[in-house]
Amino acid sequence: MANTTVEQILKLKKQRNAVILAHNYQRGEVQDIADFVGDSLELSQKAATTDADVIVFCGVHFMAETASILNPRKTVLLPDAGAGCPMADMITAEQLRQKKKELPNATVVTYINSSAAVKAESDYCCTSANGVKVVSSIDSKEILFVPDQYLGDFISKKTGKQMHLWPGYCPTHVKILPEDIIVRKKEYPHAKVVVHPECRPDVIALADEALSTSGMIRYAAREDVQELIVGTEIEIVHRLTKENPGKKFIAASKKAVCPNMKKITLEKILDSLETLTPEVKVPEAIRVKALVPVERMLEIV
């Protein structure tokens, strides 16, 4: 059954001139049929340059929205319309407008994990891969960072810039606790430790590096890394294992599962290619405003 589904997807993909983009947290079988698997930054870059007519986004809603912001004339599909990001939902455009009134001199830096409407109220966007670079490039004395307080805290420490932090967080990454890292380190004393900067600061403090998901993929390929404890969504282990035969990858916590990322299945991808739904389309008035911080981000990379 799975094979037939895969064959049908590949056939329909050609007919539709579609490209399948998948995030590193997608189910293994979804990653395996994708044209490109990557982190949020790489997926935005791919979305910005693809010549396909249809983009099938295997990820969560804000990622498909970013693809739509960059490609107003293409059809962007999110195979499950309910695949959202709870962190992105922790700030609304209205809440951000209110905060900007309280901090009229602040430059607003918004994590890509946010709605298009929130991006439209922002000066810069960033991902976990380029947040330090983006904030370092900003001259302003006052910065408001939304919505992830932990990524914001990490960037603030790295750049030495004080920032106002919105109190958002990722419900998946906060499940990784310092005790998890301590226990894993005892079990694998020779292993290196990488964690995502969405983790709590006391978890980041125990790691060798805090990296975006594709940063972790590059770190794992290093010759001196044979065992790696990975503090992020557990599905990343699929790609790490596939690309690094013989190396050992250990999830810091099996509880770190993003249920929204798991909503995309092969059957839903096939259905989506057949019906060209559910489509994600950002209204033009919001899109033109959101494009400014997204393009600034892509220029800084």
What is the smallest separation between the CB atom of 196 and ligand SF4, expressed in angstroms? Answer: 8
Binding segment toward ligand 13P, per CB under 6 A, in 27-35, 126-134, 153-161, 222-230:
126-134
Binding segment for ligand 13P (CB under 6 A), chosen from 73-81, 100-108, 123-131, 158-166, is 123-131
Look at residue 127 and give the partner it binds from ligand 13P, ligand SF4, none, a contact being a CB closer than 5 to 8 Å depending on partner kind. ligand 13P
Q: How many CB atoms lie within 10 A of CB 81?
A: 16
> Minimum Å distance from CB 212 to ligand 13P?
3
Which stretch in 28-36, 48-56, 93-101, 121-129 sits in contact with ligand 13P by CB under 6 A? Answer: 121-129
Nearer to ligand 13P, 45 or 140 (CB): 45
Nearest to 53, CA basis, from 12, 81, 84, 6: 12
Give the CA angle between residues 81, 82, 83 to the nearest 5°. Answer: 95
- Binder of ligand 13P out of 128, 130, 159, 253 (CB under 6 A): 128
Please identify which residue in 44, 66, 127, 253 interacts with ligand 13P, judged by CB under 6 A.
Answer: 127
Q: Does residue number 114 form part of the binding site for ligand 13P (CB under 6 A)?
A: no
d(CA 244, CA 100): 46
CB of 257 vs ligand SF4, minimal distance in Å = 9
Member of 9, 20, 22, 39 binding ligand 13P (CB under 6 A): 39
Q: Which does 149 bind (CB under 5 to 8 A by kind): ligand SF4, ligand 13P, none?
A: none
Contacts of 76 (CB under 8 A, 6+ apart): 54, 55, 57, 64, 67, 68, 279, 280, 281
Return d(Cα 38, Cα 162) in angstroms, integer: 30
Among ligand SF4, ligand 13P, none, what does residue 86 contact (CB within 5–8 Å per kind)? ligand SF4
Contacts 24+ apart (CB under 8 A), 244-250: 244/220, 247/220, 248/188, 248/191, 249/220, 250/184, 250/187, 250/188, 250/191
Give how far Cα 59 sits from Cα of 90, 113, 175, 194, 261, Å: 18, 11, 20, 22, 6
Residue keyed to tokens 């490609």? 71
Q: Which chain residues interact with ligand 13P by CB under 6 A?
A: 24, 39-40, 113, 127-129, 170, 196, 198, 212-213
